Amino acid sequence: MSSKSALLETDSLTKRYGRFVAVSDLSISFYDNEICAIIGPNGAGKTTLFNLITGGTSSSDGRVIFNGTDITDLDPHEIAREGLIRSFQITNVFEDLTVSENLQVALLSNRTQFDVWNKINKMDSVSERSIEILERVGLAEQRDKPASQLGHGDQRMLELAVTLGKEPDMLLLDEPSSGMSSAETAEMVDIIGNIGEDIPVVLVEHKMGLVKSVADRLLVLHNGELLAEGDPETVRNNEQVQRVYLNSSPE
Ligand SMILES: Nc1ncnc2c1ncn2[C@@H]1O[C@H](COP(=O)(O)OP(=O)(O)OP(=O)(O)O)[C@@H](O)[C@H]1O
Ligand SMILES: [Mg+2]
């Protein structure tokens, strides 16, 4: 792995809140063509790590490099423009807009849609692209419904569609299946596996069982530190990981 150059890399990344260290001296790398899952119990620092990487939270120390660019001090919208796109642990869609409109907002605001002279072609390509993405996440038939009328699982799918509409070079997904039924979760895992064939994905999840089938590599965070790293089987068999998960089942 070390001979391959990283697409996204943190170097001694640290976040302190007073004396409490939420993310501690983390130097980790993520690569092109992989689905990587970050797992760890509640409070391990997973969301804080995403917030540090995508600019929502400023770091106390350390750097973040994406695609060869130092993005440590950039604002969230500048980081998104670099092609690093995230989703949130809490569902975040425009409830009054329809499913398609939610996606069109993302498509119209993304970085490759600057050709204002070609508005008609642009609207055609936006609506074609939006259908393509909605089909990919299984929402095409519900495209004219207001997002508020979707069930929770479908709202999470819509959020995933919106992140795809932003034309990511890499996707960071924070517990995309939170609050979903087990059938919806299985569908989400399948869709993430399919997306991962074209776009590198970093997925946060606290249940190991959900990610072991889809992730090429797991990183385990505990108390803001990297506890273990490797393929799902190696990580599952790691004694320290088993100890951390003893009271909160990894399944
Ligand atoms: N703004 C803040 N001020 C103080 N402490 C914070 C702040 N944000 C997060 N923390 C603390 O940092 C730690 C890591 O939180 P974080 O949300 O990153 O965990 P997580 O791994 O995403 O957990 P979960 O699985 O519950 O989503 C927690 O102990 C949390 O209470
Ligand atoms: Mg979290």
Domains and CATH numbers, the chain: 1-83+169-251 (3.40.50.300), 92-167 (no CATH)
Residue 73 and residue 163: Cα distance in Å, rounded?
Answer: 22
Residues whose CB is under 5 A from ligand 2 (ion)?
46-47
Nearest to 31 by CA among 219, 159, 205: 219
Find the ligand nearest to 15 CA: 1
pLDDT over threshold 70, residue 120: no
What is the pTM for the complete model shown?
0.90
Instruction: Compute the average pLDDT of residues 176-195.
Output: 92
Residue 9 and residue 28: Cα distance in Å, rounded?
Answer: 6
Average pLDDT, the chain: 90
Q: Ligand 1 centroid vs 124 CA: distance in angstroms?
A: 43
The answer to whether 44 and 221 are in contact (CB under 8 A) is yes
Kind of pairing between the strands at 217-222 and 35-39: parallel
Q: Ligand 1 centroid vs 204 CA: distance in angstroms?
A: 13
Find the ligand nearest to 51 CA: 1
Nearest-atom index, ligand 1, CA of 89: 27
14: number of Cβ within 10 Å: 17
Nearest to 189 by CA among 156, 145, 152: 156
Would you say the C-alpha torsion 91, 94, 100, 101 has a positive or negative sign?
negative
Instruction: Compute the average pLDDT of residues 152-171.
Output: 94
Percent of the chain with pLDDT over 70: 91
Nearest-atom index, ligand 1, CA of 57: 1
Kind of pairing between the strands at 69-70 and 20-26: unpaired
Q: How far is CA 139 from CA 67, 157, 168, 191, in A?
A: 32, 8, 20, 12
- Return the residue whose CA atom lies nearest to atom 8 of ligand 1: 48
pLDDT over threshold 80, residue 99: yes
Of residues 120 and 48, more confidently modeled: 48
Q: pLDDT tier at 89 (50, 70, 90 boundaries)?
A: confident
pLDDT over threshold 50, residue 1: no
Give the residue, out of 46, 57, 89, with the most ligand 1 atoms within 8 A of its beta carbon, to mutate for a pocket test.
46
Give the residue, out of 20, 23, 49, with the most ligand 1 atoms within 8 A of its beta carbon, to mutate for a pocket test.
20
Around ligand 1, the residues with Cβ closer than 6 Å are: 17, 22, 40, 42-48, 89, 206
Residue 51 and residue 45: Cα distance in Å, rounded?
Answer: 10
Q: Ligand 1 centroid vs 244 CA: distance in angstroms?
A: 17
Nearest-atom index, ligand 1, CA of 221: 21
Of residues 152 and 125, more confidently modeled: 152
